[in-house]
Amino acid sequence: MKKKILVTRNLLPENEERIKKLFDVKLNKQEKVYTSEEILELSKDCDGILCIGGNKFDADIFSKISSTVKIIASYSVGYNNIDIDAASKKGIVVTNTPEVLTDSTADIAILLLLGASRRAYEARKFAEEQKWIWATDFLLGKQMSGSNLGILGMGRIGRAIAERARGFGMKIHYHNRTKLSADLEQGATYHDNIKSLFNKSDFLSINCPATKDTAKIVNEETINYLPNGAVVSNTARGDVVDDEAMIKALKNGKIFALGLDVYNGEPKIHPDYLKLQNLFLLPHLGSATLKTRIAMGNRSIDNLENFFQNKRPKDQLN
Ligand code: 8YV
């Protein structure tokens, strides 16, 4: 008999076709994110769940979840929404989808750095409103070439951003818990603390995972370590940034411009961000290419398939 899987959001047709062949699936055909209560109710008779980053699986959910559920396969690389310890205590395996979204997310990070530093939002408005004439000092931005790019979190995505930024003539600096091998560093300069990294970061790309240790790590104190007029982007998680401190720094010019793809409490966005001009915002598009989304779907289905064939899933996190 086929195992029963709750799929919490709609999948692309290519993935849906495959998962239907392998499993007895409960699909979500609505344009909505299930609440925790709905997930608990709908998964009552399921063997596994394919979820997205927006679904929260905290200790409370794990204390209530049906004992039939043996695996949660997340359609995401980030898993800050899942309490892995609580899952392990309940004997539930958790998997994610690393590697397949590295390139698409790195592309978006470069788009954010360019969009913010070259004032793409303001520019679009001037163009749209037909209110502009060319002038030597019209919408002057910051140039990436010759600047230092600081990367906070030099994992796969951070390294893919570094590779692209080198093509733009940037010098790469990074901070990680541990220094990378020379092979992975590719000439980037390691900083063993945030202050030292931020001091050097004309541009800063935030790419560390959201954990207890990184919550609001970009805050009033650390923002002040940046050179005046720095450009910042965040393609990691909103939790890493203290929004109030960031908004203040955008208003007083400490930060020249900010590019954001991720938000605290998304899909909501702090209303004060929306009042600012020096912002380039995207609605969490890091992995949004057809190629990547199909690969993420396949990766989560592979993890489910392996698990139910009694093989250790490639991306098992616990
Ligand atoms: C996902 C992401 O698309 O994979 C991640 O961690 O942030 C996104 O690219 C999103 O979380 C949906 O699961």
Asked whether 225 lines ligand 1 (CB < 6 A), one says: no
pTM tops 0.95, yes or no? yes
The answer to whether the beta carbons of residues 202 and 142 sit under 8 Å apart is yes
Q: How many CB atoms lie within 10 A of CB 138?
A: 11
What is the Cα–Cα distance from 197 to 201, expressed in whole angstroms? 6
Mutate to test the pocket of ligand 1, among 76, 79, 237 (most ligand atoms within 8 A of CB): 76
Q: What is the pLDDT of residues 100-147, one digit of tens each?
A: 999 999 999 999 999 999 999 999 999 999 989 999 999 999 999 999
Please name every residue paired with 5 in a beta bridge, in sequence order, or none if there are none. 25, 48
pLDDT score of 170 more than 90: yes
CA of 210 to the centre of ligand 1 (A): 13
Q: Which long-range contacts (CB under 8 A, 24 or more apart) does 193-199 make?
A: 194/152, 194/222, 194/225, 195/222, 195/225, 197/150, 197/152, 197/173, 198/150, 198/222, 198/223, 198/225, 198/226, 199/225, 199/226, 199/227
HSE-CB of 286 using CA atoms within 13 angstroms: 28
Q: Which one is predicted more confidently, 51 or 54?
A: 51
Look at residue 35 in the predicted model and tell me its pLDDT. 95
Q: CB of 238 closer than 6 A to ligand 1?
A: no
77 lines ligand 1 (CB under 6 A): yes
Torsion of CA 219, 222, 224, 226, to 10 degrees: -120
175 touches 201 (CB < 8 A): no
Helix (H, G, I), strand (E, B) or coil at 220: helix
Distance CA 17, CA 242 (A): 42
pLDDT in tens, 171-204: 999 999 999 999 999 999 999 999 999 999 999 9
Instruction: State whether the beta carbon of 108 lies less than 6 angstroms from ligand 1.
Output: no
What pLDDT digit, counting tens, does each position of 272-299 carry?
A: 999 999 999 999 999 999 999 999 999 9
- Ligand 1 mean position to 53 CA, how many Å? 5
Q: How confident is the model at residue 304 (pLDDT cuts 50, 70, 90)?
A: very high
Interval 30-41 mean pLDDT: 94
Q: How confident is the model at residue 308 (pLDDT cuts 50, 70, 90)?
A: very high
Q: CA 114 → CA 54, 121, 123, 148, distances in Å? A: 27, 11, 12, 14
pLDDT at 111: 98
Number of other residues whose CB lies within 10 A of the CB of residue 110: 21
pLDDT at residue 31 in the model: 86
Q: Which residue has 């043996």 as its token pair?
A: 70
Q: Is residue 69's pLDDT more than 90?
A: yes
DSSP strands (E only) in 240-295: 255-260, 279-281
Mean pLDDT of the chain: 97
61: its two tokens: 């959910």
Query: Could you tell me the pLDDT band of residue 317, with boundaries at 50, 70 and 90?
Result: very high
Q: Where does residue 144 fall: left (phi above 0), alpha (psi -120 to 50 degrees), or beta otherwise?
A: alpha
Residues in CB range of 116: below 8 A, 6 or more apart: 231, 232, 233, 256, 257, 258, 259, 278, 279, 280
